[in-house]
Structure 1
C-alpha cells in the first residue's frame, strides 16, 4: 500500500460527501478504495437491519454472491464481528483448526479465497454493519493493513451517520411543512393550502378561459353527534367521512377541511361556455359526495347516517378566492333553509327561502356582529398558561361572542367576518382596553391569583394600526399597569411582513413580551425570529393531539422544542386535554402547558369567584386538573 494514492482517494471521497447525500454511493466508493489500495481481492459492506444483515455493496463483479453466503446462512465473520464488537481476522481459512462457520468457509474456499478480515461498523450508539475484506492467498494481515482497513471502517460509520442525520432532518422538515398545510385530524389540506390551490386553479382558468367550481360542504346537525357520543366519536366520524369524500375526487381536485364540520371542494378545468356541462358536472359531484356520506357509520353500536348541505359557485377570470369562498358559503346557507326540493340543485339559488331559528347567513351574521360590537356584547375569557411544575405563569385573553341564538362563539368563528367587514381593528382596541381594566380589577380584588402577564392575540392588521400604540399606552396609564404585564401574541406567519417586525420592535422596546402562536407551522419565517426578543413559542395543538401514543408526533414535538430552545424561546404546549398528553409534553421538554386539562377559558367574574390557594402574585398553585 502506498500512502499518497490511498490518502488522495480518501480526500476525493470526502469532497464528494459534501454534496452527495446517498449513503449507498459513498459506501460504494469506500469498497472500491479498499479493493484498489489495500491489496485485497474482494470487499463488501453488510448493513445491519432488524431482520439481520443485508449486503449493501460488494466488489469485484460477481463477488456479491460470496458475501450473500453470510446473509443467507446467518453465520460468518461479519456476524461474529458484530456480536463481539471487534475485528475478526482469519489468516488461513483452509487451516484445519478453523472449524467455525462451516457453510461460509466451504463457499469461500470453493470460490478461491483463503483469508478474510471483518470489521464492525459501530458508532454513535448504533451498530451499522460490517466491512468485509478478502484475499485469495492465505497470509498474515500486517498492522499497517489493519490500520488502513480501520480507517475505512471509521469513514463508513461517519458517512452512514451523516446520511441518517440528513434523512431525519428532511423527514422532520417534511412533517413540519405538512403540518402547516394540512388538517391534523383528517389529513386533508387546511385553509392555507386550500387558498393556494384555489389561486392556482383560478390562474389556470384565466389562461384557458375556463371556470372553477367551489363546493361548500356543511354536515347537517353534526353538533348532535358530538353532544350525544362525545368529541372522540365525532372526530372518528369526521375522519371517516373525509376519507370517503376524498375517494370521489377527480385527479386535480382539492378537498379541504375548513373548520369543524365544514369542507370545501375545488374542482377546476370546467368549460366556461357550456352551461349544460357545468350543470352535469355539479350534479355528478354532489351525487358522489352524498352517496359517500349516506353510507352508515357505526358508532357505539349505532349506525349513524350523516347528510350534508352543499353550496356551489363558479369563478374564473377576475374572481377573488375570498369572494368565491364566501359566495359558496352563502349558497350553502341559502340551501340550509330552502325547500327540500331546492337542495337537489345546489348550483342554482332557491326560488323561495324560509327561516331557521339557528342558521344565519354570512350577511345576517355580519349585521349582528356590528350590533354586538356597538353594544359591547363581546366578552373576554382567560385561559391559564401553567408551568410544567403546575404553577400558573400567565393567562391568554380569548375573545368570545355570546350570540343570542347560536350560543357562545369562539373568535375563529367570526374573526374572518370581522376582518371582511372592517370591524377587526376596532374590536382589537376594545379587547386591549377590556384586558387592562380586567387585570387591574383582578390585581385589586384577588392579588394572590392575578397573573404576571396577560397575552392578547393581535393580527398583523392590528399591529399596523397607527392608533394601537396610544390605546395600549393609555390603557396602562389608566389602570396603573406596567408594559411587561401586557403581552402580545401573533401567529408565526406574521413575522414574514418586515413592517410588522418593525412595529413589534417598537412594542418590545417599550417592554411588552411577545409570544408566537402555532410555532412550527410557518417555519419559512423562522429567520426573522432571530431579530426579535420573543419570549414564548406555542406549539400548535395539532402537534400535541395523540402525542402520548404516536412516536412520530413525539419526534415532531421534540424537533420543534429543539428549534425553539436554540432560538432562546420557552415553549408552551397548546391543546393539552389529558394527563397522558401533559406527561408527554413535559417529557418532550415543554416549559409551559395550556389547554382544558390545565384550565378552561373563563370570564373574569368566574375567576374572581373561584377559591384559590394564596401565594405570590402571578404564580399561584393550581389545583390538579382531572385526568
Structure 2
C-alpha cells in the first residue's frame, strides 16, 4: 500500500489518491447510478491503495444483512465475496452489522476470524489479509468496501487511514446519489399520479388530451388518420348497487387490464371517469375509408374479446359488456371535437335511434325536442318537502321536469341522461339554480320563518367540472338576496367515483353551501366513503327504507348508517317514506328528517305555498 511518511514519494501518492477521489465525486455529480459509483470505487481502491484485490457490496432495504455483491476487481477475490453474499457471514457482513471496520492481518489466525466457510474460500483463492470498511453516512449504510492482500501482515495506521478516507468519502457520494434517486422517484411518482388514474393505472383525462393532441399533430404532418373509441360499460351501476363499490373497483381494474393487453403498442387506453374509457388509435389511413374502418373494427373485436370472459367476484361471475362509439379525424379536427363525437356515437350505440324511449317516439326525436326545451320555456321546477319529526318543512329538494309538447310532464329520470350526453345538462343546471333561489326568496317574503331553511338542487359530476359553476351559483344568490347557506347542493353517491368531484365539493363547502349525498347506503364502501366527504346531509336510499318496519336486516344496516353519520356530525334524511309506520320506525332509528310521498309529493312552487300556509 502507500509508503510510510518518510517516503519522498508519499505526497505524490496522496495527491493521486485525492485526484481519484475527486473523480468519484464527478461520477456522483454526473447522475451516475449507484452500481456505477461502486464499480468506480473498486477501481480506485486497487489502483491507489496498493492492495491486490477489492470487492464492494451494496446495502439493500431489508436490514444490515441484506447485502448484494456489485463488483470485484479484475482477478480479485470473487469467490470469497460471493460466498459472503450467499452465506451472510464474513468480515463484510460484520462490518455492515456492527458499523465498524473489520481488520484481519492474517486469515490463518483463528483469533482474528470467526467465519470458517469464508476463510476456507479466501485461503483457497490465495488471499491472506482483508479489511472491510462500512460505507456509512448520516447513519445510513450504503454498502461495504473490502480490500485484500495476498500476503499476511499488519495493516499500518497510514494504510488504514486511506482505506477509511476512501470509504467515508464514497459513502457520502452514495448518500448524495441515493437522495438524488429518491427525489427523482418522488418526482416521477408525482408526475405519474397527476397524469394517471389511481385505480387502473391508465392515463387520465389530462394525459389523454395530451396524447390525442400529439396524435393529431403527427397525423397532419404524415398524412395519416386518428380514430377515437369511446367505451362505456353497460349497466355498471348495477354492479356497484349489487356488490358494492369495492367490488365495482375490482371489476374496473380487471376490465382495464384486459383491454390494455389487447391493444397495439402505439394505442392509448385512458380512463375518462367512472366506467368510461377512451381508446386513441393513431397512424391509420387518412383517405382509405375501407382500410381505416377495417383497422378500427379489428380493435373493437379485440376489445369485445377482452370483455367476453366474466369477472370473478368471490363466488359470483360478473358478465361485463360495453357500448362503443367511434369518431374519425378530419383535416381540422381537435381533441375536444373528436372526443365529443365519439361520446355522442357511443350514446347512439347504447340507445339506437329507432329504439322506443319509454314515452313513445324515437330517441332522435326526443333529443331534437330536448334542445328546444330551454329556449321555448318548457322546463319546470317542482319541489319535494323534507320534514322533521313534527312534520315541519325544513328544506325542499328542487326537481327538474320537462313539459313535453305532446307527452306531458316528464320527470328528470326520462331525459337527464340524454341532456348530459347532448351537452345540455350544464345549461339546465344553471336554470335550476336561478329558479330554485327565486322560489325560496318568494317563500321567505310570503311566509317568513315558516319558509324552508334551504333549497337543495341536484348536480351531476359534469356540472361540478364546469369552471363557471361558482360564479353561476353566486349570481343566483345575489339576484334573490340569498346567502350560500340557503342553496344546498346534492349529488348521487355514484358521482364520487369521479376524481374531479371531491376537490370541487370541498371548494363549494368552503364557500358555505350545505352539501348532501343522495342514494346513500347503496354501495359496499359507502360508510368508509362518508369520512372523506364534506357533506352536511346524507340521504338514506329508499331501498333501505322499504320494509324498515318489519325487516331486521334493513334495520341493522340503517342503524350502522345512522351511527356513522352521527359520529361525523352528518344529518340523516330517509328517502322514499310512504307510510306512517315507516316514518315512525325511521325516526326511532335516529333519522333526522324524512322525505317521500308520506311527507309530501313533489309539486310546483305554488303547492309549497299552500303547504306553508
**TM-score range with shorter-chain normalisation?**
0.5 to 0.7
- 1:8 alignment partner in structure 2: 19
The one of 25, 30, 34 aligned to 1:19: 30
What does 1:80-95 correspond to in 2, within 5 Å? 80-95=94-109
Using the alignment, how far apart are the partners of 1:174 and 1:578 within structure 2? 33
Q: Deviations over 1:92-118 (max 9, x none)?
A: 233465563333333333433332222
Q: 1:212 to 1:415 in 2, by over 3 A?
A: farther
Q: In the alignment, is residue 28 of structure 1 matched against residue 76 of structure 2?
A: no
Contact 1:81-1:130 at 8 Å conserved across structures: yes
Using the alignment, how far apart are the partners of 1:440 and 1:52 within structure 2? 59
Contact 1:23-1:159 at 8 Å conserved across structures: no
Name the Cα RMSD after superposition. 4.1
- 2:129 alignment partner in structure 1: 115
Contact 1:35-1:41 at 8 Å conserved across structures: yes
* Per-residue deviation, 1:599: 5.2
Three-state SS of the structure 1 residue aligned to 2:433 is: coil
TM-score calculated relative to the size of structure 1: 0.61
Using the alignment, how far apart are the partners of 2:112 and 2:72 within structure 1? 24
CA radius of gyration, larger in: 2
What does 1:188-227 correspond to in 2, within 5 Å? 188-227=202-241
Q: 1:111 to 1:275 in 2, by over 3 A?
A: closer
Using the alignment, how far apart are the partners of 1:368 and 1:69 within structure 2? 70
Three-state SS of the structure 1 residue aligned to 2:331 is: coil
Using the alignment, how far apart are the partners of 1:91 and 1:105 within structure 2? 13
Using the alignment, how far apart are the partners of 2:96 and 2:48 within structure 1? 25
Q: 1:578 to 1:42 in 2, by over 3 A?
A: farther
- 2:115 alignment partner in structure 1: 101
- 1:597 alignment partner in structure 2: 531
Using the alignment, how far apart are the partners of 1:281 and 1:148 within structure 2? 67
- 1:134 alignment partner in structure 2: 148
Using the alignment, how far apart are the partners of 1:316 and 1:245 within structure 2? 26
- 2:379 alignment partner in structure 1: none
Contact 1:226-1:234 at 8 Å conserved across structures: yes
* Per-residue deviation, 1:143: 1.5
* Per-residue deviation, 1:251: 2.4
- 2:347 alignment partner in structure 1: 333
Moved more, 55-64 or 303-312: 55-64
Using the alignment, how far apart are the partners of 1:291 and 1:458 within structure 2? 37
* Per-residue deviation, 1:169: 1.3
Contact 1:206-1:317 at 8 Å conserved across structures: yes
Q: 1:164 to 1:99 in 2, by over 3 A?
A: closer
Contact 1:214-1:328 at 8 Å conserved across structures: yes
- 1:235 alignment partner in structure 2: 249
Contact 1:114-1:135 at 8 Å conserved across structures: yes
What is the count of residue pairs matched by the alignment?
Answer: 438
Q: 1:185 to 1:604 in 2, by over 3 A?
A: closer
Using the alignment, how far apart are the partners of 1:131 and 1:171 within structure 2? 27
Using the alignment, how far apart are the partners of 2:323 and 2:83 within structure 1? 64
Q: Deviations over 1:51-104 (max 9, x none)?
A: 743322222434423433433454322223334332222222334655633333
Q: Deviations over 1:243-284 (max 9, x none)?
A: 122122122111111111111111122212222223323332
- 1:624 alignment partner in structure 2: 567
Q: Deviations over 1:145-168 (max 9, x none)?
A: 222111122123222222222221
- 1:322 alignment partner in structure 2: 336
